[in-house]
Structure 1
Amino acid sequence: MISQVVIDKVLSKAQETASHSWEYGTVFEALLEYRDPHYSIFHDPFPGGKIPELTVEGVEALRYVKPFIQTNSARLCEGNGSSSDPTSLCIPALLLYNSTTSQAPDNPYLSAVNRQLHDLLSTTPRYSNGAISHRDAYPSLWADFVYMVPPALAYHGVFTSDIGMVKESVRQCQLYCEVLSTSKGYWRHIVNAEGTGSVKSDDGAWCTSNAWAAAGMARVLATLRKSQYGSETADEQKMLLNMTKGILDGAIEADTDASGLLRNYLDNETWFPEVAGTALMAATAFRMALLEPGTFGERYVGWATCKLESVSRYIDEETGVAAPVVNSLKEGQRTPLNGINPEGQAFVVLLYAAWRDRRTVAEDASVPMAGTDASRT
């Protein structure tokens, strides 16, 4: 099993190497869930029905992410052709807005978030079914989008008491599922609108993008459950449960590699086994076991525990580097990345935090959990 000392090294490498908007957002989330879990979406994100009032100095995740958030442009960070990737920084930007050291008449963070969301919702192309494109230039649906945008929409909806925005976060997940899901439960990676010429779709079930989607929907579900809209979003919660279960079931069914890791493409046995997607998929299984233990019982917890053990074997204990990992900028590359994958490093931390949180709750005998004798499914 991975030790906390090794996880600290893994996290340090994630912070050192992140260089894109979605990586900053993911490292922020890993820091929050690991270092300050009380404030994460899976614990107590809305004390008194509001987002928490924190100090930048007191929360490592905010200290980390603050230098990367732009407050003087249309987007919170350079998107490299995507308006959805910078949207992953909306949640930390709102927390920075609400921090006790930032509250002032000229506090720039809220207006920056509003510009980012206006750019996303009003100027980004849409697919024929209304799904917001992951790319700026043409309608293109990437499963990755579901981790970047819906959690931010749901969180902002709670912050502004806008149930329409909260429900829109789920609708976007559903619209993506309509286009990307397969008969085996897992999703295709990329589908582009017709008429995009030489731009290629990716019909393969990329492990990391499926993990992005499943983990994103788990975050949205937690947001709904922890917010004032829990009782008003029963239908939306059921949709999220079903869609997330489909991806996890598909991944478990495809988990046949002797390494104990999921393959880079779930639906193709010729691909190399890969740490990053495996880690985030397993983290999601642990989170779902906490959110809905009656559905995500022993089968899911046992599987996630096996994946944690497998991932542990592929972490260099001296350096904290995870390998083999995909080159996330060239997911079709047939060989593992010769270097560090920042998001993969963060995924390992998210896996450890999810395992730790579930173990902590399960140890409380007064709260029966999936995977225990009291709630075995």
Structure 2
Amino acid sequence: TEMTNDVGQKNVTKNMTSSIQSLPARHLRANQTFVTMALAAIHASQRAAWEQGVTVQAILEWQYPDWSTFDAPGPSSFQAGSGGAGNRHGRTDFPQDVVLQAMRSVVAQDSNGRLGAKVTGDEDASKGSSLDSASNLESVLIAAYASGEISGASNTLDTNAVFGKAASLQYNFMTKNIMRGAQGIISQRMDQLQYWADTFYMSQPALAAYGLYTRNVDALTQAYAQVRLYLGVLLYPEGSGSKTGLLGHIRNDDGSWADPAVWVTGQGWGALGMLRVAAALGQSESSSSLSNPTKSNIVDLLHWTSDLLTAAHATFDSDASLWHNYVDDSSTFLDVSGSLALAAATYRLATLAPSLVTRTSLTNAEAVYRRVIPHLNSFGQFGDGLQCVDALGFSVPGYTSVESLSFGLLLESARRTYSKASNGQTTTLIRTIERLQL
């Protein structure tokens, strides 16, 4: 599939053949000590909007997997019915911690509608990120759904209720009030047209979640469209040397690069975000009812994720069992955060579409797990010489970050689902994707 971006480049998505039909069964156990310490450190942290978003997603996937799009019982579990407790659709748990985090995002919603945006109270509503706050939308929608603020055959969102109103404000802001470039690509920044790799995890899954929970086909379609547009702008095409097939970090609307580096975290945001959009599309209808365009979009997303992961794994430092901060530059430090993100994405894709993941990639993902997960201390810091990007100084390494802890939990969750699936405990989403022509 040829994809032309908005700044004159062409990116080619490969049509991969199914060289691997299945991956080996694995009985993988979680490291509960890591989980406990990571959650404690996360809950003790002060978080910006994007950190809040990845935090609550990590809590969702680890603590309440049947409320996530990856492991939910099926499309019916996203259909509201009469609202209230009936929205649980047989789920025995109420996603208490997700709802609490959603309320935190609502309380910190700014005048634009950006969820979780007010941290100090000194933020300028006309500046900063336009889309980081969208990373909190799915959790607010879950809170609305679980609290009975979404009801009826059409999944009507109560925009006068606490969570329903907050979700509506965030959705309207991101779809109506942010600058757009060519073909409708949404800017990552408030005061200029600029596109960041982070956006794959911030706004595109949010659009998909809104479409899923409110049965809004346009939102689901836009989620896919924005992924495609962002790939067109940020993905390095064939002939780009060591950067081929990888995501540059920040690009201006005129085509110049504000940051041309291929950050490992950027590759992780991209892969994980595309998988979340694919999962939401896969849960939007039963497998027998999915439209051909939706099926095609899911297949595209899975292949795009596979292509990105293939390019990333080609840069993996097998001696260190980690990726470098700039994946194509071995002089940069080895980054725990992005390595955990890519490992999580690898396990997720291996679970959903094993034919699109090589054994080598899966071996790399497990190597990251074993190198990093055992070395978290009770203060939420990584030891044994491990480093991650310092959230307060992106050009220097630190010893912990909210995103690295969250990515670790996402890896634990993805690895757990992979282990179950490889031993026959599949999910509705897995069975839906098995019926697609990959």
Contact 1:214 1:247 in 2 (8 A): yes
CA distance, structure 2, for counterparts of residue 195 and residue 276 of structure 1? 28
Partner of 1:326: 389
Partner of 1:37: 65
- Aligned partner of residue 112 in structure 1, secondary structure: helix
Partner of 1:27: 55
CA distance, structure 1, for counterparts of residue 371 and residue 295 of structure 2? 36
Correspondent of 1:342 among 402, 406, 428: 402
Larger proportion of strand: 2
- Aligned partner of residue 326 in structure 1, secondary structure: strand
State the Cα deviation string for residues 231-250 of structure 1 (Å, max 9, x = none).
22122112212221122111
Q: 1:133 to 1:177 in 2, by over 3 A?
A: same
Q: Name stretches of at least 5 consecutive residues in structure 1 with no aligned partner.
A: 370-377
Does residue 1:47 correspond to 2:110, yes or no?
Answer: no
- Aligned partner of residue 124 in structure 1, secondary structure: coil
Partner of 2:10: none
Does residue 1:293 correspond to 2:354, yes or no?
Answer: yes
- Cα RMSD of the aligned pairs, angstroms, is 2.7
Does residue 1:176 correspond to 2:205, yes or no?
Answer: no
CA distance, structure 2, for counterparts of residue 105 and residue 151 of structure 1? 21
- Aligned partner of residue 17 in structure 1, secondary structure: coil
Correspondent of 1:96 among 139, 143, 148: 143
Residues 260-275 of structure 1 correspond to what in structure 2 (within 5 A)? Answer: 260-275=321-336
Partner of 1:302: 363
Q: 1:129 to 1:8 in 2, by over 3 A?
A: same
Partner of 2:201: 147
Contact 1:56 1:96 in 2 (8 A): no
State the Cα deviation string for residues 53-84 of structure 1 (Å, max 9, x = none).
35996522222332232367422221761121
Q: 1:130 to 1:297 in 2, by over 3 A?
A: same
CA distance, structure 1, for counterparts of residue 217 and residue 360 of structure 2? 34
Correspondent of 1:59 among 96, 102, 107: 96
CA distance, structure 2, for counterparts of residue 253 and residue 362 of structure 1? 25
- Aligned partner of residue 229 in structure 2, secondary structure: helix
Shift of 1:349: 0.8
Contact 2:37 2:376 in 1 (8 A): no
Residue type at the aligned position of 1:154: A
Does residue 1:211 correspond to 2:268, yes or no?
Answer: yes
- Aligned partner of residue 272 in structure 1, secondary structure: coil
Contact 1:140 1:190 in 2 (8 A): yes
Shift of 1:48: 4.3
Residue type at the aligned position of 2:372: V
Residues 345-364 of structure 1 correspond to what in structure 2 (within 5 A)? Answer: 345-364=405-424
CA distance, structure 2, for counterparts of residue 228 and residue 101 of structure 1? 21
Residue type at the aligned position of 1:355: R
Contact 2:337 2:407 in 1 (8 A): yes
Partner of 2:155: none
CA distance, structure 2, for counterparts of residue 63 and residue 287 of structure 1? 26
Shift of 1:365: 7.6
State the Cα deviation string for residues 311-364 of structure 1 (Å, max 9, x = none).
235x23443423411023543x1x312x53111111011111111111122222
Q: Which segment drifts farther, 245-254 or 226-235?
A: 226-235
Residues 72-221 of structure 1 correspond to what in structure 2 (within 5 A)? Answer: 73=111, 74-78=113-117, 81-100=128-147, 106-182=160-236, 183=238, 184-194=244-254, 201-221=258-278
Contact 2:30 2:416 in 1 (8 A): no
Shift of 1:2: 6.2
What's the TM-score once normalised by structure 1's chain length? 0.87
Residue type at the aligned position of 1:164: D
CA distance, structure 2, for counterparts of residue 134 and residue 72 of structure 1? 17
Q: Which segment drifts farther, 93-102 or 128-137?
A: 93-102
CA distance, structure 2, for counterparts of residue 10 and residue 48 of structure 1? 29
What's the TM-score once normalised by structure 2's chain length? 0.76
State the Cα deviation string for residues 193-249 of structure 1 (Å, max 9, x = none).
2399xxx61001011011011100011111111221762212211221222112211
Residue type at the aligned position of 1:218: L
